[in-house]
Amino acid sequence: MIEYVKDRLPRRVRRSLALTRIASTSLKHRHKGYRDFMLSSYSAVNRLDRSYGRPVHLSLEPTNICNLRCPVCETGNGTLGRVKRHLGIDQFKHVIDSMQDHVNVLYFYFVGEPFLAMDSYEMIEHATRKQIWVDTCTNGEFVDAKNLLDSGLGRICFQLGGMTQETHETYRVGGVLEKAVANLAACVEEKRRRPDCKTQIKTGFIVMKHNEHEVDEFVRFAKDIGVDAYEVVDPAVRTLEEGDQFLTSQDKYWYYDREAFNQGILRPKSPSNHYCEWIYYTTTIQVNGDVVPCCRDPRGVHVLGNVFEQDFVSEIWNGELYRDFRHMVAHNQKDTGICDLCSGYTAPDINRHDPVQILPAIQPVAPRLEPEPAGVLV
């Protein structure tokens, strides 16, 4: 009966109840950042322009370079419009050290392959030493199992585009399935040799029209190889043309409103309706230090400041640009230009286990792809 009533409450009321429950759990366990989380919850529920809590969740882009050419991704299809580069280790430490008091979770990726970044394992280790739980997502082709587990990473997800080379490279253009699977297997085997290792190894299958017949095979593969978790990832597109090419025949994998799509409109099943919790708890930093609202802004349409030129907490987080953006989301969301295909992200989970133990002596790894000379755009 209670669930029946909850399902009929307005979406904002249901989210407010959910936030109250999450905040109560945070207060009980008092994980890192819980005070900021609770203050941000007040701001989110009331859709304020200001977030009274500092961000507990950080997305930081270690590189905007990738070896693949995935046709929906702005990096892969060449429409990103940003200078190609890697984040320097000193720049990374500057960001982490300035936010270590309140950041609980780090997403170590954005629109590049994170393990192409110089010093990627040292970066993960540094964040973990600051008691930050690090999560990353990869195409799997540049992962070194020993260095990965030595770094103290919290979770990694290897995302595959198919179960054969043909289906894999239809979307993962330029990718080598055998290489990604071999590195995934190496990580699983390395973890088996470490009984106390807490790193979660996950694999994902990007389901699309050309590979949806392989879902059952993927599930068997994931169980056989011995990962900690697996998921079938609903496909994301930016245009109707991409939808015609990649969206599945089965409705259960659709994030978008299929009836609207058939009428020539691309929109999510559940529009965010002027409400987004993400902008009160999290922030996203691009490789050059530009702060943007979230992962829906890969091109940097809404640059809210730069962490290498300004102090994040005192000048950016509740600065005029950030406050104006939150106000726009709450009152005139269609004008953001980045929210149209989003259902609105919910509050992040800060109830993680403690970061895993760091092992010493990270070893050198294979050479990374070098960035293009300055001024060359993706």
User: In whole angstroms, what is the distance from residue 39 CA to residue 37 CA?
Assistant: 6
pLDDT at 271: 83
The answer to whether the CB of 358 falls within 8 A of the CB of 125 is yes
Instruction: Tell me how long the chain is.
Output: 378
**Beta-carbon contacts of residue 166 (< 8 Å; ≥ 6 apart):** none
Where is average pLDDT lowest: 58-62, 162-166, 169-173, 359-363? 359-363
pLDDT at 356: 41
The model's pLDDT over 309-362, given as tens digits with 9 standing for 90+, comes to 999 999 999 999 999 999 999 999 888 989 999 887 777 777 765 444 333 333
Q: What are phi and psi of 41, to 5 degrees?
A: -60, -40
Mean pLDDT estimate for the chain: 88
The alpha helices in 151-212, defined as continuous H runs, are 165-171, 177-192
Nearest to 34 by CA among 353, 355, 351: 351
Nearest to 54 by CA among 62, 63, 43: 43
The model's pLDDT over 168-213, given as tens digits with 9 standing for 90+, comes to 999 999 999 999 999 999 999 999 999 999 999 999 999 999 999 9
CA distances from 216 to 209, 220, 232, 234 (A): 15, 6, 10, 15
User: In whole angstroms, what is the distance from residue 124 CA to residue 108 CA?
Assistant: 8
pLDDT at 12: 58
* Residue 119 amino acid letter: D
pTM, 2 dp: 0.87
234 class by beta-carbon count within 10 Å (0-12 exposed, 13-18 middle, 19+ buried): middle
The answer to whether the CB of 235 falls within 8 A of the CB of 206 is yes
Name the residue with higher pLDDT: 161 or 378: 161
pLDDT at 347: 76
CA distances from 94 to 53, 76, 90, 161, 338 (A): 21, 29, 6, 35, 28
Name the residue with higher pLDDT: 361 or 272: 272
